[in-house]
Amino acid sequence: MNKVKQLINKSMVAALLSVASLTAFAQVELKTEMYKVIEVQKDNGTSKIEWVTPDNITPGDKVGYRIMVENKGDKAADDIVLNNPVPENTIYVNGSARGANSSIVFSVDQGKTFATPEKLFIEKNGKKLPATAKDYSNVRWVLTSSLKVGEQSSVQYVVQVK
């Protein structure tokens, strides 16, 4: 009995070690930053969008999330997929998701399936309707190139507080 326990313990340690060694090879770190997205009026009558420190967020305000990804390991990381659920009490702002070298897809079913906007549908009163930005539950960025050692990349999107 004791031997069995010891065996299990040993195998668990081994499993933990193997994960640790893998992450040591290619440790991709993720960091999310948030900003208040405001429209600043310029003297010439036009306006520009600025991302500023998020103070005093109230309903109707826009919040921008920037997700930084960095390869701190010693091997290239392939097939990088970034996921972000649209937070509760917010709605995704149409067209706000950006990301270099990435294809951006969305989910309307809490992340079970993803597709590009024109292929997303919702059901309302038994009818199949094209999904709109407010239906999106998750945003996904599929990076089209691998992240080399020491390389950084970032993606972003904007939500509006309900």
Partner 1 sequence: MNKLISWTSVFLASLFAMQSYGAGTGAGTSISNTASVSYEVGGATITANSDPVTITVQELINVTIISQDSGNVSVSSPETGAELKFQVTNTGNGNEAFIINQVNIGGDEFDVTPSTIYLDDGDGVYEPGTDDVAYDNSAPSTIAPDASITIWVTSDIPDSLNNNDTSEVQVSALSKTFSDDSQTNPDAGDVVSGAGDSSTDAVYGSAAANADDTAIFVVSAIQVTIVKAISSITDQFGTSQPVPGAEVVYTLTVTVTGTGDAESVTATDPLPNELLLKDGVAGIITVDGVDLTAVSGDDIATYDANTNTVTVVLGTVTAGSADSIISFTTEIQ
Contacts of 53 (CB under 8 A, 6+ apart): 35, 36
Question: Considering beta carbons, is residue 2 or 56 the nearer one to partner 1?
Answer: 56
Cα 143 to the center of its chain, rounded Å: 12
CA-CA distance, 77 to 65, in Å (whole number)?
23
Q: At closest approach, how far in Å is the CB of 161 from partner 1?
A: 6
Which residues make up the interface to partner 1 (CB under 8 A)? 22-23, 25-26, 28-34, 54, 56-60, 63, 65, 67, 69, 73, 75-85, 87-90, 147, 161-162
Joined together, the tokens standing for residue 126 give 């038994």
Quick one: 63 or 108, whose CB is closer to partner 1?
63
Minimum gap (Å) between residue 3 Cβ and partner 1: 31
Least Å from the CB of residue 129 to partner 1: 18
Cα separation, 34 vs 50, whole angstroms: 12
Do residues 80 and 148 lie in contact, with contact meaning Cβ atoms separated by under 8 Å? no
Q: Which residue has the tokens 């109707």?
A: 60
DSSP string over 134-147:
GG--EEEEEESS-B
DSSP 8-state class, residue 42? P
State which residue, 9 or 18, has the beta carbon closest to partner 1. 18
Q: How far is the CB of 1 from partner 1 (least distance, A)?
A: 34
State in angstroms the smallest separation of the CB of 45 from partner 1. Answer: 20
Q: Which C-beta is closer to partner 1: that of 10 or that of 31?
A: 31
Select 79 or 118, whichever has its Cβ closest to partner 1.
Answer: 79
